[in-house]
Amino acid sequence: MIITIDSGVLLKAYFPDETGHAEAQNLISDYARGAVTFHAPNLITYEIINACLVAARMARFPKERAKELMDEILGIEIAREDIEPLKDRIFDISTKHHLSAYDGAYIAVAESKHIPFLTADKKLFNSLKHHFSFVKWIEDYQRLRE
């Protein structure tokens, strides 16, 4: 299975206090077995670094552990898509659906690849699920893999 994922999906797999942690861990297990391939806009790297920085600042993890988690998550093989060719589509999606360009980039990547987009952002999912049939919620991962 090939899917577009947002940074929150990966973070949920490594942050045990997050809702959707079990589903995200199932996804990572499937990745480790070679059953799943990930795509994402190249900005996912910055989002993961930032999330780990914030987790350390908020004392969710000691700084050293947050850095280890960052390295482990960034070690996951993700086809990082250049968003430059998608800039007009990102702008149009973001304008029409009142999204940030960051969120619009994930939608544009999934749309351009004709693959599902799995998100851990409940607000984003709820705002888009009726507009893009390929947008899926992390807690629905089990149904997606069947």
Average pLDDT, integer, range 86-103: 96
Cα 76 to Cα 55: distance, rounded to the nearest angstrom: 19
Average pLDDT, integer, range 4-32: 88
Helix (H, G, I), strand (E, B) or coil at 78: strand
Q: Using one digit for the tens of pLDDT, what is the confidence trace for 60-76?
A: 889 999 999 999 999 99
For residue 60, give every residue at least 6 positions away whose Cβ sits within 8 Å of its Cβ, in sequence order, or none: 15, 17, 66
In three-state form (DSSP H/G/I as H, E/B as E, the rest C), the secondary structure along 112-125 is HHCCCEEECCHHHH
CATH number assigned to the domain comprising residue 112: 3.40.50.1010
Average pLDDT, integer, range 18-32: 87
Helix (H, G, I), strand (E, B) or coil at 34: coil
Q: Tell me which residue has tokens 């507009």.
A: 131
Q: In the chain, helix, strand, coil percent, each to 5?
A: 60, 15, 25
Q: Tell me which residue has tokens 């942050």.
A: 15
Identity of the residue numbered 29: S
Average pLDDT, integer, range 85-104: 96
Instruction: State the pLDDT confidence band at 144, using cuts at 50, 70 and 90.
Output: low
Domain count, the chain: 1
- Residue 24 sits in which domain range? 2-145
